[in-house]
Structure formats: structure tokens, C-alpha cells
Structure 1
Amino acid sequence: MSEINPFLNYGATSLENLKDFCRKTVQEKIDAAACRKDMVWTMDKDYKLTGFNDLFYQRLKKENIDNVHCGMDLQGIFKDIPFFRVCIEGCKEVFDHSAPTSRFEISEKEMGQIHEFSFHPVMIAPGKVTECYICQRDITRDILNVLNLEDREYRYREVQEVANLGHWVWDIDKDEISWSDQLYTIWAKDHERFVANYDSVVAIIHHDDRMRFIEHLEDCLQGRATHDITHRIVLDSGEEKYIHTKGNLFRDASGKPIRMSGTAQDVTKEIRSHHKILDQNLELQNFVRIVSHNLRAPISNLLMLSKIYEWGQDKTNDDIVKNIESTTLALDHTIRDLNNSLSFKRTLRERVEEIHFKEILKDVRALLYSEIKATKASIAVDFTTVSNIYSIKSYVSNILYNLLVNALKYSKEDIPPKIVVSTEEKKDWIILKVSDNGIGMELTPERKSRIFDMYGRLSAKTKGKGMGLFLVKTQIEALNGSIDVISEKGMGSTFIVSFRK
């Protein structure tokens, strides 16, 4: 609100008419302020009250001043009441300089409320101030809202910095892209100089990824895909980064794409770490293949020599050769296990097929017929929630086979095993559970982590190499799944396998 100057727009011939018009204009502004719940009043150069609204009246009553009327002297009120103390300087500024001004007051009595006092000159001629129009407004909530907004924006920027992630909005019609501050940091661009649009952003994308990005973006605009892609960019310094961008497309009423918005995250560290792990795995696989290949011939020779050895000639020699044969067979099995564990990691997508749990269990039970009969085991089945899964049949068969073997192997002496095989569904996962009434175990965090290690075993008293659960875990992870176990000593165990849908 600026100065009140009706003189410039009023063709009055008498000064009295002009004053009346001034009072009318001021009263209109007082009424308008009342609608905004502002406290307003006017005073002349002698600090005499010339007009006020009800909020001003209520305020003075709150200060124990009952006789509020036009013509009353405000100097004592401004001087004695802390709430109005900013008015002396504010009014003086208006009368001396004919210019509007503002003052702010923090009221301790009213628990730190912030009040804005604005002072405006009322003129009957240019430069000739006759009255001062004063408006008071409680701006505590506005200030707090601004502070809260600034705090949220600060925290949001902080989160973006920690996650190395920023947001963007692309106005497709105008071809204007707005970035958050963190995106300028990620892309190493100057906020003032760099103009983000389709061409300038695409130009930064690595030339080997550029066409793939453009085709993907076109698929998004045509509704054939959702914007979710990882690509490389090349900074002005020549440095390469991996960026993961995700976004949503917005259309107008006719279906025309008008805007895209989303996030972009620097995933360079994660991608390079992943590549490093892949390289290390490849080196490890090559090492194991070389070792196993070089050992295969000597092992075969040792086993062949044990076959042609003439047994019964010398007991001492028989014992030595028998030990050599047993050790060689154990070494041969170990190398086979290593090769199996490596082959399980090479998952081929074209081998994925629909698998019915009932059929898989039927095949596994046939393989374990002798063990089931010998232990008098019973196997209860519940596939009502989920009856099938899309996966690799040999992997799922082997997983279920090894879990049933464990349930049979670690059963209680003289108590027939009771095994329950069931499935359920949780969001993006299909859960396979194998529970038993076996010996169970005390499951400390350390022991739980070792169960699925190579040659880890449920009990030191049991026979076996402990490869079964390691192979199960290896195959499940190859399928992007996970395995967990719940167990209590003497109460049995439950293995929980989570397959991605």
C-alpha cells in the first residue's frame, strides 16, 4: 500500500470538499483492512486520532483504555504502551519525508509474536501531508511459514547432496528444463551460463549411449515405456559419470505430452563397484577352472592306479592305498562342487519357464523315495496360495531337493520327520517355506551366517560336506532371490526362500 493522494484524481474546487474526499478514501481503506483482520487507524500531525476500525478499538481496550474516540491524543499511548512504541518513529518518518515506511515489533508479552506496522502519508496536495494512515498486521504465522519452508528446502537440498540426487522438470512445448541445484553440481555446469534444454542435455550424454537414450525417450513420449534408464555422461573435463534417471510424463486433456518431471542420480560409484565385482568374479571363475582342469588329470591317474592295484598282497600297503583313494575321491568331489557352484551363477534368461510346485515336489519325492521310506517321514503340502512360478526348473528342483535332504538328515532319532512345504505371496515376492520337526539349532547371528557358507554344516556331529545349503544359496542368488532360516534347538527349523515374481 503506497501513499494516499486523492488530490491527483479529484477535481474539487473547495479545500473542505477535498478533505472530505480524503476522509472517505481513508475510510474505504480502513474497511478493506478490516476484512484482512488488520488493525488500522489514522492520525493528524498533532497525533490526534482521526479514524480507526474495531480491531484498534479492541486493542486499546486490552490495554485498559476504554474511552476511544476521534480527537484523542495518541502521543501518550505511543510512548507508554510497548506494543505501540514503533509508531513514534514511523509517524515522524512519514510527516518529515512524505514517504511510506514500515517497522517491525516482536512482542514478548504475546509470546514472541511478530507485528508489522506500516505508515502511509495522506496528502491533499503533492508533498503536503495532513494525516498518517497506520496499519498493523500480525505476521507471526507468515514468518514461521517462510522459516519452515526454508528449513524444508534446506533439508531437501541436504538429502539431495547426501544421495547425490537432484530433480528436474522438462516443459516439452517450450523445451525448457529446470534443474535443482544438485543437478548442476552432478553435471558440473554453471547455473548462470548453462541453458538446459533437450539438445544441450542430449549433447552431454556419452556418444555410445546417446541413441539408446533418445530411443528410450521417444518410447516414453509414445506411451510405450516409463522413463527409467541408466546412461553415461561426459563432463567438460572429460570425466565420465553414470546417471540413473527416472520420471513421469504428463499429458493435456487431448493426450498430448506437455511435461516430464523426475530425478537424476549419480550412480558412478555403485556402477564401477559392480563392474569391479564382476571382473573379480570372472577372474575367480577363471582361476577355479584352471586349477580344476590342472588337477583333473592327476586325480584321474590316482584313481586309475587304485583300480589296478593288486589288493591283498600286503595289509600295510592296502591301508595306504585305501587312504590315498579316499582322499583322492574327496578332492575329486570338491572340484566338482566348485565347478557346479560356478555353473549355477550363469543364469540364461531363455531357460526361464512356468514351473508348478506340485510337479517339482513329485519329482523330488521320487528321488528321495528311499530316504523318506527309511525315516518314515511324512510331507504335508500347501500350494493353495501360489501354485506356480516363472523360473529355471533345474534350479528350483535342486533348491527344494537340498532343503528336503536337510530336513530328513537332521531329524530326531527314533522320531519320524514331519515336513511341511508351503508357498505364499508378499508384494513382489513368492515365498517357499520348508519346515520340519527336527533337531533344530541355537541360531546365533554368527552361526546363521555360516550355515550357507561353503562346507558350512548345521551340526558338527552329523556327516556330510555341508555343500547343500551353499549350493541352494548360490542358486537362489543367481535368481535374484534370498534365503533365510528360523530355528530353535529341539523344535525344528524353517527355511524361507524368497523368489522375485
Structure 2
Amino acid sequence: MKSQELARVTLQNEMDLILAHKRSMKLAELAGLTLSAQTTFATAVSEVSRSTIEHGKNGCLVLGVTGGQKDKYLIARVIDEKDLSHHPNEGLEYAKRLVNKYNISTSGTESSIELFYYIPNGSKLSINQLDDWRSIFRNEQAVSPYEEIKQKNDQLQKLAQKLQESESQYRTLTNALPIIIFSLNDKGELIYANEWLKRFTGFSATQLNESKWREVIHPDDYDAFSVILSHKLSMGASTIRTQCRLRHKGEEDYYWHLASVSPLYDEGGKLLNWIGYIVDINAQKLVEETLKDNRELKAVQQQLREHQVALEENIAELNRSNQELQQFAYVASHDLQEPTRKISFFSDYLLSRYSEVIDQKGRGHLHSMQSAAQRMRSLIHDLLSFSQVEGKRIDFKPVNLEGVLHFVQQSLEVTIQEKGAVLEIGSLPMVRGDEGMLIQMFENLVGNALKYAKDDEAPYIHIEGQQSQGRIELRVQDNGIGFDEKYLTQMFALFQRLHSSNRYKGTGLGLAICKKIVLLHGGTITARSTPGAGATFIISLPTEIEEHAS
């Protein structure tokens, strides 16, 4: 039988390692292997995949079935864009003992490791069965929040491409119609205008923004026209229309036009921009005809409405997908906790009860298993924390921040004493918010300050706050190792780390959780630092918060 590919997994980070292990277990289960054999095969695949992720380049795992008519094997092929002769795969040494056979091949700079696991009664496998297995992998739902995010990212890229094509069609359409079509921002400035604006007036959008249209609007009509340029327009307004005279380029004569603008809101009621048109009604003005007789104008309005409806539907779908992703992350993280606890328990049991009969290499593997399980438990805990913050509805109440910091100080008391740290708490105002979330935020910020302290200097952490002009500003300052501010955006993103996990433990979710908590409180968070000179995290919160936020 020719080797049949059934599933493929890119190997870039530990989330991909989870996916590789899951799919290896699933393939072994479909092949009818016992649970012990499933685990053995998946462990071998995971070990080789882990080394590829840690030391390889653009790694990829291909799972399938191969063999002759009688004997068939599960095959896991790990492809790595690195020459194994110079960078051997450490995980292979352990995996060799778990599989029936293996093969290593190199072609140019690309290397391939193949692991074979015998399938009992494999002679009964048919092409139809393998097609069914392939269909199962193709249609399976995402098994991790990470994979779900990757799928949604692909969908967003396709959506962005469609929107770009739609925008191009929209520009072509508006330029073809003999009317001026434009968009204004909340300051009344032009952000888009079709070609007819410059054809008629002789001025570009930039020139009209600078002159506030004074060069083209008749002086007697300017006050009425300037209403649509005002950034103080009522948020409840639907459509604003005015009739005015525009001067044609190269002429002294003015021609009557109807100018109309309508607001475009997002689902939350926030104003995105104003869309509008200016149509020549000079002939209608002369013969007392109205704008509703202009069929071309109606067609353009319909096109604008259709684009607006399509955009609203896309936003609604994106919000629904985001809610489903939050629910999935919470459930999946819960399901992952039990096997992780078992891995930790049994590896610890083996080390404590059978340490004398296990050789040094075996003990090393068990320690690695314990370390990996601990990293997984930390990741699961932070994923749960993030999903709980993401989906929680805030119960806004007055919160005493000094009490919050007292609780945080007790929670981190052991680490503070071990590092000989000094935690100085200055004057802190009362805020309205969720006390549990604010405790979680300060635990992460103070915990980071302790984690990234200098080796030769005791940590010093100063926390203070002040209220000014309707805002509350909180500062968490330390004397740690600091960071380069060019990584500021990266620091608050999911799973982003500036330092190796070998030196500083963590999952890259702490500051992402802090940012989400601050956003849910209607605030902002940023930081200031230079390498080696400590860091200051700055949180700005409003004194009055809309209590429907969630």
C-alpha cells in the first residue's frame, strides 16, 4: 500500500504540540490500538515533535498509514527545514524505544524522521476506511483555542479580501455615477470622495478640508452647509440634508446642489463616520422638481444601504464567533486539567517509589515530564483565567484599592519574603469596579515585578494613584530588569513573551489578562521602561463607568 496521508499539523509552538498529541491519539484509536498503545504512539510522536519545535525550523507533522497487504503501520513523519546531521532531534532517542521502527532521511536542507507503529489486524484495512478516517480529521472541530484562533484568522483574511474587492467595486461604481459621493469623519473632514468632487469643484479632498469648503460654497449658503461639517452633530440624527450652491471650476457661476449626510454606527451604537452625497439639482430647482424623481440617486442610496447591511452582518458574525471561542476555551481548559494532574501524579510516584531501579536517563525523562506537565497546568490556569475574564459580566461597586493591595500582599507573601522585596503602597483612591478582577490585575503586575527582578538587587515596588480631570491614574513602579519599549504592543498580546521560559517561567497571558480587565473597566494600560532601569505600568480608569459593560 502506498503511504496514505490522513492529517497534517504545523509545528511552531506548544499549542501545536498539544494538537499533534491529540491527533496522534485519535489516529491510534481509529486503528483499533489499545489505550496503552495509543499513548505510546502519541508519546513518541510528541517527543520528536517537541524537539522540532524547540530547535527546528518550519516543522510539520504528517500522520498516515503505510505498509503491504499483510502488515500495516501507523506512520508519523516529522519534516524539519534543518539538517539533522548538524542538529540532531533529541526526542528521537526516547521515541526509538516506543515504536517498531524508524527512518531518518535528508534532502538538501530538509530532514525527515519517520516513526512506524504496527497495526494488529492491519490487513483488514481498506482504502474506503482510510478515506473515512481522512474525512474525520478534515471535518473535526478545533481541539484547542489556539487552533480555533488560527481557523478564525484564516476566515478573517478571506473576509478582508472580499471587503477589499467590494471596496474596489464600490469605488468603480461611485466614480461611474454623475454625483459626488463622500465620507466624513467625526470632525467633519473628508476621508473619501469619488472623482466627481474634483471634476466639479477643481479642489481635492485635502484642499477642501483646509479651506472648510469656503472656496466652492456660495457665501449665502455657507452657514447652512457648515452644519454637516460640524463634529457636534446630534448623535440621534438620522439624515441631514441641505440645499446649497456650488461653484463650478473655472467659472463664476454657482449651481444648486442637494447635500445629504447620514451616520454609520457600529452594533454598540458608536459612530463610525458619516456617509453622504452631493447631487446636482439645478435643473430640478428651476422647474420645481424634487429629489425623489432622480432614479439614479435612489440606486446609489440602495447600494450604500446594501454595503452597510453587509458590514453589520459581518460584524455580528465576528462577535458571535468570539463568544463561541470564549466558551470553547473555558470548556477545553477544564477538560485538559485532569490528564495533566495524572501525568504529574504518576511521574512523581515513579520518581519517589522507583527511583533506585530507574537509570539516570529515565529519571531525566520523568523530570522533563513533570516540568512539561507543570507548564501545561500553568497554561491551562491562565487560559481559564482569561476566558473567565473575557466572558464575565462586571458588577460595578465601590472598591477600596488599599484593601485590594493588602490582599495581594498577603497572597504573594512567600515570594516577597524569599526575594527580600519591599512593597511600598502610597495613597490610593476609591474606584468603581469589580474587586475580584482588580485583585487579579494587581497580582499579575506585582508578580511580574517580583519575577523580573535583578539578580543582585532586592526588588522594590512602589504603587500609588491619583485622580484628576475625571480620570484615575494608577502606577506600579519597580526596579527590575526593564524592557525595550519597542516591544510594548507585543507585551500585552496573547502568548507573547520577551524572555526565554527557561529563565523566567510563565505563559505569556498575564499582561493580556491585565489589559482585558482594564478594558472591561473602560480604561487603558501602558508602560514605560528602559532595559536595566526598571518599569512603570500606568493604568488609567474613568471615575464614572457605564455599568452595562461586560
TM-score, structure 1 normalization? 0.47
Q: Tell which structure's C-alpha radius of gyration is larger.
A: 1
